[in-house]
Amino acid sequence: MSDRTDIKGTIGILTSGGDAPGMNAAIRAVTRAGIFSGYRVMGIRRGYQGLIEEDLFEMGPRDVSDIVQRGGTMLFTARSKEFMTLEGQKRAKATCDKVGIDYLVCIGGDGTYRGAMDICKLGVKCICLPGTIDNDIACTDYTIGFDTAMNTCIEMIDRIKDTEMSHSRCSVVEVMGRRAGHIAVNVAAATGAIDVITVEMPYDIDKICKKIIDQKNTGKTHFEVVVAEGVGHSEDIAKYIQEHTGIDSRATILGYVQRGGAPSCYDRVIAARMGCYAVELIGQNEANRVIAVKNTKLVDYDIQEALSMKKGYDSHLHNLLASLSL
The residues assigned a catalytic role are 134
176 binds ligand F6P (CB under 6 A): yes
- By beta-carbon proximity to ligand F6P, the closer residue of 132 and 171 is 132
Residues in contact with ligand F6P, shown as a per-residue x/- string from 229 to 248 under the rule CB under 6 A: x-------------------
Residue 30 CB, shortest distance to ligand F6P, in Å, is 20
Residue 258 CB, shortest distance to ligand F6P, in Å, is 7
Angle of the 146-167 helix axis to the 265-283 helix axis, nearest 10 = 160
133 binds ligand F6P (CB under 6 A): yes
- 170 - beta bridge partners? 223, 249
> Which amino acid does the sequence have at 212?
I
CA angle, 16 as apex, 13 and 21 as ends, to 5°? Answer: 90
User: Of residues 259, 268, 289, 318, which one binds ligand F6P by CB under 6 A?
Assistant: 259
Please enumerate, as own/partner, the contacts of 153-160 that have beta carbons within 8 Å and a separation of 24 or more: 153/183, 153/187, 153/191, 153/254, 153/258, 154/187, 154/190, 154/191, 156/254, 156/257, 157/187, 157/191, 157/224, 157/226, 158/191, 160/224, 160/252
185 binds ligand F6P (CB under 6 A): no
Residue 179 CB, shortest distance to ligand F6P, in Å, is 8
- By beta-carbon proximity to ligand F6P, the closer residue of 34 and 181 is 181
Query: What is the Cα–Cα distance from 145 to 134, expressed in whole angstroms?
Result: 8
Give the residue closest to ligand F6P by C-beta: 18
The site for ligand F6P (CB under 6 A) is made up of: 18, 132-134, 176-178, 229, 259
